[in-house]
Amino acid sequence: MDFSMGEVAAGLRGELRRLIDTEVPDGYLGAFTDDPADLAAAQRFCGVLAERGLLCAAWPERFGGRDASVWEQTVVREEMWGYHEPRGAQYMGVNWVGPTIMRHGTHLQQRLHLPPIARGEVIWCQGFSEPDAGSDLASLRTAARRDADGWRISGQKIWTSYATMAQWCFLLARTSTGGPKQRGLTVFLVPMTEAGIEVRPIRSMLGPHHLNEVFFDGVRATDADVLGQVDDGWSVVQEVLAFERVGIARYARCERLLQAAPDALGKDWDAIAPALRGRWTRALVRARRARLLAYQVLARQDAGRVSPGDTAAYRIAVTRLDQESAAVLAELAAHVPDDTDAGRHFRRAVEDHWRYANAATVASGSVEMQQILLARSLLGGRRRVGEAA
């Protein structure tokens, strides 16, 4: 089966791989490590991509992109995720914060936020989950109350990636009560430097920067900080989640690591047990299946016909692929000698992938909630789509 997408895409892949080879440090395995140089390298690389119109390729030119097709943007996503995301946290602003501001933001919000995202200069974090509102996001309690100056926001968010380094937060808060819990929610665009915001890192095997608690104590916001309509933030969030779930091309990293395994093992590959090689083959097949599901959702999204069931099916497939490939790769990596730079890098890359795969079942909505969304879509239930997501 041909996954090349044609000559334009092939040329773009080649350009991106040359840039990665020349601009990304050897041994790079992501921006969020104990070494600040890794984040600095990612930020520099974002500037390189932005100068060439590749950071936000599919954005309209008036917003800092180059009007590329969704398929060209998909090539960018695949190459970035395949090579341990050298854009750092920028995928959040590129994939869904920016496009959501394009769709729902005022002209002032678009002028304020879109150019810095397109230049790779700003990092965003997402203020959604709370201690008692994770999968059931609409049950959140962080409240925004009107006062003489606009709004005062108080509450707590949790599992907030990049909160220690972000300049802005895409924050969901409750602005009214009564009626269905999905009503009365509003999106605020809040600077992380605002008085009353406290970030507390959560230690985990994912390393620094990924998981944080964020506390809001009377944080000031104005009507100019509201994205979309007051009390209608849930409809904005549903679009956000669709962009987020498809925009992370983790299948590309799975496939690249799986394909690298035989070279990493060298002559020892032939000694691998047939059962393990069979699992390796099945994982590769499932990586291609996840890629096809992603392409199907992207085609529907591009035509304006994507449904929550489509994105849920993709998310389930890629999460299972993440974990299946991580298990296979961990067993294979145990046979790779660590007496060479290449061997050590492969083993470190597999370990990094394994750690993230273990967190994948709850990231961007748990697998169980994705299964509920898919079931509702298939059964044509009348309940509001995403009610408990």
Catalytic residue list: 244
Using DSSP bridges, classify how beta strands 124-127 and 168-174 pair: parallel, antiparallel or unpaired.
parallel
Distance of CA 330 to CAs 273, 316, 325, 361, Å?
A: 14, 21, 8, 18
3-state SS of the chain?
Answer: CCCCCCHHHHHHHHHHHHHHHHHCCCCCCCCCCCCHHHHHHHHHHHHHHHHCCCCCCCCCHHHCCCCCCHHHHHHHHHHHHHCCCCCCCHHHHHHHHHHHHHHHCCHHHHHHHHHHHHCCCCCEEEECCECCECCCHHHCCCEEEEECCEEEEEEEECCCCCCCCCCEEEEEEECCCCCCCCCCEEEEEEECCCCCEEEEECCCCCCCCCCEEEEEEEEEECHHHEECCCCEHHHHHHHHHHHHHHHCCHHHHHHHHHHHHHHHHHHHHHHCCHHHHHHHHHHHHHHHHHHHHHHHHHHHHHCCCCCHHHHHHHHHHHHHHHHHHHHHHHHHHCCCCCCCHHHHHHHHHHHHHHHHHHHCCCCCCCHHHHHHHHHHHHHCCCCCCCCCC
